[in-house]
Structure 1
Amino acid sequence: MIANHKGEIPVVILLIPFLLGISVGINLRSAAYLMPLAIGFASLLILFLLLNFYYSRFKVYKRRWLGGIIIHLLLFLAGWIAVMNNNELNNSGHFSKLPAQRLLVRINNEPQIKNGLIHFTANVVANINQKHSLPATGTLMITIKDSAAVHMAYGDELLVPGKYTAIDPPFNPAEFNYKKYLAHQNIYYQEFLYPGQYRLVQSHAGNMFMANALALRLQMVEKLKNQMHNPNAIAVASTLILGYKADLSEDVLQAYSKTGTIHVLSVSGAHVAIIWALLAFMLNFLNRFGPGRVIKAIIIIPIIWYYAMLTGFSPAVCRAAVMISTVIIGKTYNRYINNLNILAISAFILLLYNPLLITDVGFQLSYLAVAGLVVLQPVVYKWFTFSNKWIDKLWALCSVSIAAQVITFPLSAFYFHQFPVYFLFSNLFIIIPTAVIMYSGIFYLLLPQIPFISAGLAWLLEKTILLMNAVLAWFEHLPFASINKIWLTATEYLLLYAIIICFFYFLYDRKIWLLRAGIALIFLLAVSISIKTYRSYTTNSIAFLNLRKNMGIIFKNGNRAIVLTNLTDTDKNYHYSIQPYLDSCKINDISLYQPNQDIRSGFLRKQDNFIQFRNRSIAVVNKDYADTISAIKQKTDYLYITGNPKIPLAIINKNHEYHNIIIDATNAPKTVQFIADQARALHGNYVILKRNKSFITASN
């Protein structure tokens, strides 16, 4: 539904400066800006009120644009101020700003168990020194390696040591920025605990309403496990119906991701709409009475919000709950509201509560998808007309999938670097199974255990999920199922959206300048991608990676690379720290070698501990390095120290002549300090990789 003029979508227009203010605030959210911004906001507000009180005296009607500018500036500043107020580090009572021997923390989410470790976040309640307790604020991420901690739950209070550490930034190129991701959730510090390092002080100290909802969700997950047998089916049912993702396997996630149906595993608007449709059908009899519509709304809205809480208050669910609540109220009182305004109202409400939600990928994708359905779907639907009503209905469903995929493609490509080729067919396929899963699952969970009926519903639920998983796995393994290694710059990402807007608006309005602008933007995008690809294929480099306890060097020669590491290509650390860099460089030919292997290729030769890559050479010093002095010094560009060798630099210098020392992250802190001290004393150049970013050097 494209608005004919801005008067139809006033909330959308007002939302734009608010979003810009939030965006600026995310990059500039120091407390130093708060006072000037507050003064500016108050001054503009007073000016706006004065202009309204003395409207005639100042002849404001001759400058109607003035009021609009002030309102937009007020909303811009409001967004910026909201971000700074939301930033916990700007609070003087944040636990990191106060000394503490111990911290009293309260678990604020559902603890997750993964690989024998218990993960959760907790609100810091107090900093404790000796017997003195001082109230504190802030969020701490805690990991516990203790089988006795599996029974911990939301609301439990713990006493933990005050020895927390800052979240590490990404150390390797193209690596996921986990520090930034957590910072957008106001999490800046973490703590790892072993048995005996923590003590349970109190249980059930959190919000009782939330605690009961999470406890009920766990009971429902257990009920699914009672009569379902396949672990993947149970995991998908728990995720799809209840938003419980703890048991979801990587294989299942990959199948849904590569087929463009990952949105099914995120409880979102479609799921809430199914709940609404069911409740509306069951309470339809109330429409016959005078106050029946109001009673119906009073019943449905709280249930929808309770379901939202049950699923963990994800941004997509909250957006859908706000939108559907607004629609229900409008229908109750027979009011019409443009769907874009409803979407903007829900965004305003959520961002006022937490402006950092704008950084959540789920929030961005869900709002873009709905906006695409509202604005683009009618345009796509008009491309073809069919006289047969069933074919017309099928095309209507196709237009929904195309509109949602087109509008979300740049964002999903920017974040996830892939495009599902068969998204149209996979999305059409999952419509019926998803509805069957939701309805059978809801009835199974709501009804008491009834012989045959409960078992029948559980059987239907499990078999439907297994069928859906099998078909999606088939789609996943089809030739060219997905286009991978799509790495967009911020400029290319914005160009893509500009192209989409130009072409779809041209199809709607038929203005030739929109077509010309779209073609010009495509040319700019092609030039940008071509330059980036040319640079990637014509540059050669050596990347000394920081893989913490593992060793890793990447020798890039155009679109070919040799990876020297003790990791295998199936290792999770390889996919997290090495693969993203290879993909971002568009490397197609990858050879993987262990550190002790000799190598002979067209651009690299490795013999024992000597490596020659084009015009650069490396001498590797590891724990097997012989503590002897050779007759001839070996001249190299880099001395790469790995594996924690116990050899003084003075001995090494008698065997090697080099320009730089690379001390990798596998070395113990004492060894790193020992080598660095010696290098400084000898006025040598050195690079420490431990707790530092990787070192990349060109080699042309």
Structure 2
Amino acid sequence: MVISWARNPFIRLVLPLMAGILTYLYAGAALPNLGGAVVGVFILFLVVQVWAARRPTPGATDVAGLLAVLMLYVAGAALTQQATESHARNHLYRFAGRVEYYRAVVDEYTVVRPATYATTVRVSAVRVAGRWQPAQGGVRVSVPREEGLPVPQYGDVWVVRGAPAPSKAPLNPSEFDYRRYLQYHQVYHQQFIHPDQFLKVANDPPSILRAIAMRAARVLDGVFRHYVHAKREYALASALVLGIKDDVDQETKQAYANTGTTHIMAVSGLQVGLLFGAVTWLLGLLPGRRGPLFRLFTALLGLAVIWSYAFVTGLSASVLRAAVMFSFIIVARATSRQTSMYNLLAVAAFFLLCYDPYLLCDVGFQLSFLAVLSIVYLQPRIAGWLNPAGYFLKKQRPWQSSAVQKSWKWLGIGLKYVWQATALSLAAQVATFPLGLYYFHQFPLSFLFSNLVAVPISSGAVYVGLALLVLKGLVAVVGLMSPALAAFLDYGPQALAFVFEKMIWAFNEYIFGVGRLMPGALVSGIHVTTPQVWLIGGVIMALLLFFALRKLPWLALGCTLLGVFAGSRVWAAYELAPTEQLVIYSIPRRSVVGFWQGASADVVMLDSLPLTETERTYRIVPGIIQRNARRVAYHPGWQACTVPAVVAEPGLTLAAWRGRKLAFVNGPLSGATEPVQGLTAVVLRRNARVKPQELAATFGTAAPVVFDSSCKSWYVLRQDSVLRAAGFRTHDVTLAGAFVVQGRQ
């Protein structure tokens, strides 16, 4: 496990670069412009390098090396600073809400949702005070799906009325930070655009090549739609081969997530690796495969196949990452460079991060490189634990018949491949385990059973699907010359499509079957903090070093880090136990309040309607995971709820919880109720028709007035100004996020 720096020079380059990027991500706001620092360190490095060359002493060489590391560290931070669009002088941020119109181009695939189209547009100009001026910035837009409204296409140029709003922070406790996710993609604004609010004026794609690639992907998707008749199988076919997941239903996504096979539906390293393996195997069958010309031919063919596939999948980011990685491998083999796989991965990561430093924040980038690193190092070692082929080969005896001897041989070979696939799956999980817990809050114990069968079948399906596309292309070419012959030859694609559909059906049924047979194999609701992820990674690294070097200090370090991790979990539980939290949630068009005490909670839906799975998963569950809650009860209305509530009059409900009083107002106050003092908050629901003087007479002005999510925006806008003028403090959960009151027992 000791790194040979001579064979892995790029590891020394990529590590400080990554450290610089991370420094900017965590402390970028406090850093000045780093361009001058990069130039200064570079000049100092050149001076020391020249000095070290003239006086080659170990000390001078070490100083030059340290300056090179420092230069890459500062360069990583500077690159990230330059890649941050919000620093530009003409960024949308600079215009605040003064934008009357803006001109933008659709710069991404359009995600088709049940009620909306979602995509990203890049702004090129804004109109402020009647004058157009250059601007830049990304806006995540949603457009309602209406009859007659076409799907936004890459390259569509729009003129949009109105100013986009800055992306919202998480609205509920521990909710996914979508604002930060967008910022990592240089998108800082969001806007819901009505059909009468924008006009398509042209089509001018930012990249002609990408526009053609996206169009090619949609054409090939049409081939699958035509030949694969079952809806679910078609959706999986398009996701598996082309990466288009618009039609994959939520039940299927959840089944794959629960069994640890989501990567099958994501076109990335798996598919590119399969193509690379197929090309390598086919070229290995050619006779006389020696010499530089053959290596050049194989390299060019491999690059052509990989990048052609990247093109027909729309040049998606995940495929481009994998294509770059395998391109370096192909070039290294073609030039017969004696370099390790670790160095090749470092080269790919280095150039990708120089191109876009924010890739380091991308979940796919992190998981891809960690999985490959783990596979390269651990898979051969795990596979070496067992030797099924050798074991069953020893079972052969001279007196056994030829059929029995061959049975032992092929049984050993079959189990060898099964064990190698198991070793690969185990190796990939070792490095990605901490990030899996951090990002997905779950760990599927059934990953071995599901991947062992699903991955080989799906891999075969990829080959068959690509063969279907090639065969259909050949038939289409024949059709240009002879439609009658093409109609006859079309039986070939139909037969291949039948096999393709059945293969997809088989591995899909297998995935669902694993989920049904092992319902308790998914460990979910796991919350780990960023420091705890580093601690888990440190434990894994220390143990790997111990097994590689056989030195007890590494084992001691692993045990120490494990103890610190366990202590942090215990301390978090100790700190949480006495805490209390009252939450008025921000859930569109809903009235929901949560009463949290330690690791238990009562969530009350005041409108007496149960939460949908989507509402519960994205709005409530993150808080449950963060608190490691053991008991969460959902109550449609106050019935059977442990929190006492009294309907004082038709438009008023009073609730008391652990010394805190709440008033929920959803209608006019009659004035018959006696004044209520000592309230924690007054919650207005369903556009309650109340006047400030009525609220003041009933509750006083000390308690804040909270507009919950069932209130319309026009109502909040009108009432907010009136209430503030009357001396009330107000809080709108739709704009400001959930209203939270913290306390301790």
Shorter-chain TM-score tier: over 0.9
Report the Cα offset of residue 283 of structure 1. Answer: 5.0
Which shows bigger deviation, 258-267 or 191-200?
A: 191-200
AA of the residue aligned to 1:379: R
Which of 475, 495, 500 does residue 461 from structure 1 map onto?
500
CA gap of 1:469–1:662, structure 2 versus 1, over 3 A, is: farther
The whole-number CA distance in structure 2 between the counterparts of 1:223 and 1:631 is 71
Partner SS state of residue 736, structure 2? coil
Q: In 2 relative to 1, CA 626–101 (structure 1 residues): closer, same or farther, beyond 3 Å?
A: closer
Superposition deviation, residue 583 in structure 1: 2.6
- Mapped pair 1:661 → 2:700: no
Give me the whole-angstrom Cα distance separating, in 1, the residues matched to 2:533 and 2:544.
Answer: 17
CA shift, 1:80, in A, is 0.8
Matching residue of 1:370: 372
* Structure 1 residue 220, shift from structure 2 partner: 0.8
1:50 aligns with 2:93: no
Listed as ranges, the matches of 1:569-588 within 5 Å are 569-588=611-630
Q: Does 1:439 align with 2:441?
A: no
* TM-aligned CA deviation for residue 559 of structure 1: 3.1
Measure, in 2, the Cα distance between the counterparts of 1:115 and 1:235: 15
Aligned to 2:346: 344
TM-score (normalizing by structure 2): 0.87
SS at match of 2:163: coil
Give the alignment partner of residue 542 of structure 1, picking from 582, 588, 591.
Answer: 582
The alignment status of 1:62 with 2:34, answered yes or no, reads no
After TM superposition, give the deviation of residue 669 of structure 1 in Å.
4.9
Superposition TM-score, scaled by structure 1 size: 0.93
Match of 1:73 in 2: 70
- Conserved? CA contact 2:38–2:78, under 8 Å: no
Q: What is the CA distance between 1:75 and its match in structure 2?
A: 0.4
Match status 1:614 vs 2:658? yes
**Residues 231, 682 of structure 1: alpha-carbon distance in 2 compared, 3 angstrom cutoff:** same
In structure 2, what is the equivalent of residue 207 of structure 1? 207
Letter in structure 2 aligned against 1:6: W
How far apart are 1:370 and its partner, in Å?
A: 0.6
Distance 2:612 2:676 in 1: 39
Q: Which residue of 2 aligns with 1:518?
A: 558
Counterparts of 1:509 and 1:59 in 2: how far apart (Å)? 33
Q: Percent identity?
A: 26
For 2:35, which of 33, 38, 47 is the aligned residue? 38
Alignment partner, residue 694 of structure 2: 651
Alpha-carbon distance change, 647 to 3 in structure 1, aligned in 2, over 3 angstroms: same
Whole-angstrom CA distance in 2 between matches of 1:676 and 1:207: 46
Q: Secondary structure at the match of 1:7?
A: coil
1: distance between equivalents of 2:241 and 2:725?
64
Distance 1:571 1:294, change over 3 A: same
1:568 matched residue in structure 2: 610
Name 1:184's counterpart in structure 2: 184
Q: How do residues 141-290 of structure 1 correspond to structure 2 at under 5 angstroms?
A: 141-145=140-144, 146-283=146-283, 285=286, 288=289
Measured after TM superposition, the shift of residue 31 of structure 1 is: 10
Deviates more, 1:126-135 or 1:364-373: 126-135
Segments of structure 2 that go 5 or more residues without pairing to the other structure are 392-411, 476-488, 648-652
2:244, 2:20 → 1: CA distance?
34
1:40–1:636 Cα change, 3 Å: closer
Q: CA deviation at 1:452?
A: 3.0
Q: Deviations over 1:95-135 (max 9, x none)?
A: 44356432222212222321232222122222346986433
| Cα distance per residue 1:582-606 (max 9 Å; x no partner) | 23222232222234x34453xx212
| 1:650, distance to aligned residue in structure 2 (A) | 2.7
Corresponding letter in the other structure for 2:66: I
Residues 44 and 572 of structure 1, relative CA distance in 2, 3 Å threshold:
same
Q: CA deviation at 1:181?
A: 0.4
- Three-state SS of the structure 2 residue aligned to 1:153 is coil
Instruction: Tell me the CA shift for residue 429 of structure 1.
Output: 1.2
Selected match of 2:535 from 495, 507, 519 = 495
Distance in 1 between the 2:138 and 2:589 partners?
28
User: What's the CA shift for 1:444?
Assistant: 0.3
Residue aligning to 2:490? 451
Distance 1:668 1:501, change over 3 A: same
Which amino acid in the other structure matches residue 607 of structure 1?
V
Deviates more, 1:412-421 or 1:266-275: 266-275
Q: Distance in 1 between matches of 2:333 and 2:53?
A: 40
In structure 2, C-alpha distance between the alignment counterparts of 1:600 and 1:113, rounded to whole Å: 39
Q: What is the rounded CA distance, in whole Å, between the counterparts of 1:270 and 1:245 in structure 2? A: 16
Distance 1:632 1:304, change over 3 A: closer
Give the C-alpha shift of residue 159 in structure 1.
1.6
Unaligned runs of 5+ in 1: none
Distance 2:272 2:89 in 1: 40
Q: Which residue of 1 aligns with 2:741?
A: 696
Please, which moves more after superposition, 352-361 or 676-685? 676-685
CA gap 1:6/1:463 in 2 versus in 1, 3 angstroms: same
Deviation at 1:32, TM superposition (A): 6.8
**Counterpart residue type for residue 646 of structure 2:** Q
Does the 8 A contact of 1:569 with 1:575 survive in 2?
A: no
Aligned equivalent of 2:650: none
How far apart are residue 302 of structure 1 and its match? 3.1
- Alpha-carbon separation, structure 2, partners of 1:677 and 1:554: 27
Q: Is the 8 A contact 1:107 1:155 kept in 2?
A: yes
1:103-114 alignment, distance < 5 Å:
103-114=102-113
Contact 1:51 1:58 in 2 (8 A): no
Cα 1:209/1:682, change in 2 over 3 Å? closer
Tell me the distance in 2 between the aligned counterparts of 1:267 and 1:286: 33
Q: Distance in 1 between matches of 2:315 and 2:77?
A: 24
Q: Which moved more, 1:456-465 or 1:21-30?
A: 21-30
Aligned length: 693
Shift of 1:576: 1.1
* CA deviation vs aligned residue, 1:228-287 (integer Å, no higher than 9, x gap): 112121111111111112222111111111111111111122210211233344555486
**Higher mean displacement: 358-367 or 84-93:** 84-93
